[in-house]
């Protein structure tokens, strides 16, 4: 079952050095979730051959332009391509007003339902839940209301124990019963307790997206032990004062938080345009948290079992 994050854009405000503003595609069990939608996101979808019609939910962390100026483009392109499926946007309260005004000004009447869910920046919330995934928002501290997002895989099915089932004749319904935790009576009349043929479910995989924020140690409890953490690292360590003044983080701060929270893998992004060469940022991050990577556009980070 897929659990991966594809980077579509990872630069901060000014698009520079061939880099683009923030956007990511999260794929969980072949369900697509777009996270932030900076200018140019739909072009990056073309570049990376993203099946855009599979996106039914878009999450916007905050209303600085480099995180949502691409949204109206995506929405209206869906209209031009005759989308009919509903599209749900999760974001700060003002976002609906902004988008509706843009549509109204352009005389655009959508043929598909466009739904909005307002996020809150003062408490954690469950925004989305289906059979495969739960998506929560949590407050960050930036210059305007900003949230991060936590993706939690739902993994309730037990695993078939191949060694124990070897030589048994299992029908498709037996597999379903076993995976769902029920005991089985096979076609030859033999009875098996569920746990004699199965193993416990895999632990659910988790991905945390920490958009623009100042260093926030209290995030530790929310992102504790996640498989994959994206954290902004707009500046290098020598620009800590500028990071503090602009409510951003440094490479070292992102790494310290990853270490404090015991995450398994860190990716950093939202690079300031003042940096042409990004490997210096990566070196600083890895000095504190070795299992780190840069959120390079086009890269896909898979969380494997």
CB 244 within 8 A of CB 214: yes
Does position 64 bind Zn ion by CB under 5 A? Answer: yes
Residue nearest to Zn ion (CB): 64
DSSP state for residue 112 in the 8-state scheme: S
Counting contacts by CB under 5 A, is residue 39 touching Zn ion? Answer: no
Is 66 marked active-site?
Answer: yes
Angle between helix axes 94-105 and 71-80 (nearest 10 degrees) is 50
Q: Is 62 exposed, middle or buried (0-12, 13-18, 19+ CB in 10 A)?
A: buried
**What residues from 191 to 220 belong to the interface with Zn ion (CB under 5 A)?**
212
CB of 212 to Zn ion, least distance (A): 4
Catalytic residue among 66, 174, 177, 227: 66
Q: In this complex, which beta carbon is closest to Zn ion, that of residue 13 or of residue 114?
A: 13
Binding range to Zn ion, per CB under 5 A, among 28-36, 60-68, 112-120, 297-305: 60-68
How many Å apart are CA 147 and CA 121, to the nearest integer?
A: 6
User: Nearest to residue 249, comparing CAs of 217, 214, 219?
Assistant: 214
Round to whole Å and give the CA distance between 41 and 47: 10
Q: How far is CA 291 from CA 13, 100, 265, 266, in A?
A: 27, 42, 5, 6
**177 vs 232, beta carbon nearer Zn ion:** 232
Contact region for Zn ion (CB under 5 A) — 19-27, 41-49, 57-65, 152-160?
Answer: 57-65
231 binds Zn ion (CB under 5 A): no
Find the part of the chain contacting Zn ion (CB under 5 A) among 63-71, 72-80, 83-91, 229-237: 63-71
Q: Annotated catalytic sites, by residue?
A: 66
* Chain residues in the site for Zn ion (CB under 5 A): 64, 212
């Amino acid at each position: 079952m897929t659990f991966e994050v594809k980077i579509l854009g990872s630069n901060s405000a000014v698009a520079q050095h061939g880099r683009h503003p923030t956007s990511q595609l999260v794929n969980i069990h072949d369900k697509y979730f777009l996270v932030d939608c900076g200018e140019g996101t739909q072009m990056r979808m073309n570049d990376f051959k993203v099946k855009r019609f599979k996106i039914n939910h878009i999450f916007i962390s905050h209303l600085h332009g480099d995180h949502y100026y691409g949204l109206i483009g995506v929405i209206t392109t869906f209209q031009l391509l005759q989308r009919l499926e509903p599209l749900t946007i999760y974001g700060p309260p003002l976002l609906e007003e902004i988008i509706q005004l843009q549509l109204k000004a352009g005389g655009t009447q959508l043929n598909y339902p466009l739904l909005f869910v307002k996020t809150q920046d003062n408490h954690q919330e469950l925004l989305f839940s289906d059979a495969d995934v739960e998506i929560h928002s949590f407050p960050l501290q930036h210059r305007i209301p900003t949230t991060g997002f936590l993706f939690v895989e739902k993994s309730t099915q037990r695993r078939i124990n191949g060694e124990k089932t070897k030589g048994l004749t299992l029908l498709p319904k037996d597999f379903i019963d076993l995976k769902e935790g029920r005991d089985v009576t096979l076609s030859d009349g033999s009875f098996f307790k569920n746990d004699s043929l199965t193993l416990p479910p895999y632990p659910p995989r988790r991905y945390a997206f920490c958009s623009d924020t100042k260093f926030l140690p209290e995030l530790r409890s929310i992102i504790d032990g996640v498989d994959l953490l994206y954290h902004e690292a707009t500046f290098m360590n020598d620009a800590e004062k500028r990071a503090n003044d602009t409510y951003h983080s440094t490479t070292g701060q992102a790494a310290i938080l990853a270490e404090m929270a015991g995450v398994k893998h860190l990716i950093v992004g939202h690079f300031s345009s003042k940096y042409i060469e990004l490997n210096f940022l990566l070196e600083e991050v890895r000095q504190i948290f070795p299992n780190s990577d840069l959120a390079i556009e086009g890269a896909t980070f898979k969380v494997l079992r």
